[in-house]
A = this chain, B = another copy of it.
Amino acid sequence: MDSALASKLQHYLPLTPEERDVVDSLERRERRFRSGEVVLEEGEATDRLYVVTGGWLHSSARLSSGNRQILRFHFPGDLMGVSSIAWAETAATLTAVSDCMVSDFPRLALARVFKEQPRLAALLYAVSAAENVAMSDRLMSLGRTDGRTRIATLFLDILSRLRITDGQIVDSFELPLTQAEIGDAVGLTKVHVNRTLREMEQAGMIERSGKIVRIVDEASLVEFAGFKDRHYRIATDWFPPAAMAVV
């Protein structure tokens, strides 16, 4: 019954009942996808946005060379397919990483949010700004650090984002990605990912068994990778007041 988007937004700001209603109305049409299934293909025409309500997905794009870059991972509460806000064609392919649930709504529905719930609109804008900064962090990671640091950063990012919706998680998590996929995310080949993971394990940074990854000493890995958590908090003090209830 709990809307995933609402619960993510509530993490930042307690919503009024009216705001909740509006958010909930964006999550009516829910669909289930199996691990590996494609929700939306790059280049497809769409005017819809997608919300993760359970599981993981990623968005990726493909180069003419055939290489693929994974652009982002999406966790419960995340808004996906944001490019359809600005264009009629999707910019990235959405693929289910694990079995997952996704609901979608037409971008037209956002008009109501902007018109009737300015505070909620401001929150969406702030979340988008935060995502922009998180993207910048990844840019730094790919442009200016070596393989080991890139993978460390990826793991820390996943860990911190899983924690937003799952308070249980302490120092390990299940990573439903192949090494080839990790490579597509951090800009390395699968072969090099393998060697690097191995090195990191030997160096005592991580432990692996099956698909479970354990971060041995998070604080020092954060230090090593220069990791910054961009999702935990955002400023809400400048927002306009919530709309009055129409009584």
Q: A-side interface residues toward B, CB under 8 Å?
A: 47, 59, 61, 63-65, 67-69, 71-72, 82-83, 85-88, 91-92, 106-108, 110-112, 114-115, 118-119, 121-122, 124-133, 135-136, 138-140, 142-145, 186-187, 226, 233-235, 238-241
Cβ contact of A234, chosen from B64, B87, B139, B233, cutoff 8 A: B87
> Which of B121, B127, B133, B142 is close to A139, meaning CB atoms less than 8 Å apart?
B142
| Inter-chain contact B133/A69, CB cutoff 8 Å | no
Contact among B68, B91, B127, B139 with A138 in the assembled complex (CB-CB below 8 Å): B139
Beyond A128-B132, A143-B186, 11 additional contacts (C-beta under 8 Å) are A64-B226, A65-B145, A82-B132, A83-B132, A85-B129, A85-B235, A86-B129, A86-B130, A87-B130, A114-B118, A118-B118
When the two chains form their complex, are residues A122 and B114 in contact, meaning their CB atoms are under 8 A apart? yes
In the assembled complex, which residues on chain B have CB atoms less than 8 Å from the CB atom of A59? 136
Q: Return A67 CB to nearest CB of chain B, in Å.
A: 4
Indicate if the CB atoms of B132 and A238 lie closer than 8 Å: no
> A122 and B111 in contact (CB under 8 A), knowing A136-B135, A139-B135, A140-B69?
yes
Copies in the complex: 2
Measured between alpha carbons, how far is A239 from B86 in the docked complex, in Å? Answer: 11
Q: Are B69 and A125 in contact (CB under 8 A)?
A: no
Find out whether the CB atom of A83 lies under 8 angstroms from the CB atom of B133. yes
Query: Could you list some 6 contacts between A and B, CB below 8 A?
Result: A59-B136, A83-B130, A85-B235, A87-B234, A111-B238, A115-B240
Complex Cα distance, B17 from A230, in Å, reads: 37
A110/B143 in contact, CB under 8 A: no
Contact B238 A129 (CB under 8 A): no
A85 to B59, CA, bound (A): 25
A44 to B136, alpha carbons, bound, how many Å?
17
Q: Indicate if the CB atoms of A226 and B63 lie closer than 8 Å.
A: yes
Contact A69 B128 (CB under 8 A): no
A162 to B110, CA, bound (A): 31
B residues within 8 A CB of A139? 69, 71, 135, 138-139, 142
Cβ-closest chain B residue relative to A241: B115
Least Cβ–Cβ distance between A196 and chain B, in angstroms: 15
Contact of A187 among B130, B143, B240 (CB under 8 A): B143
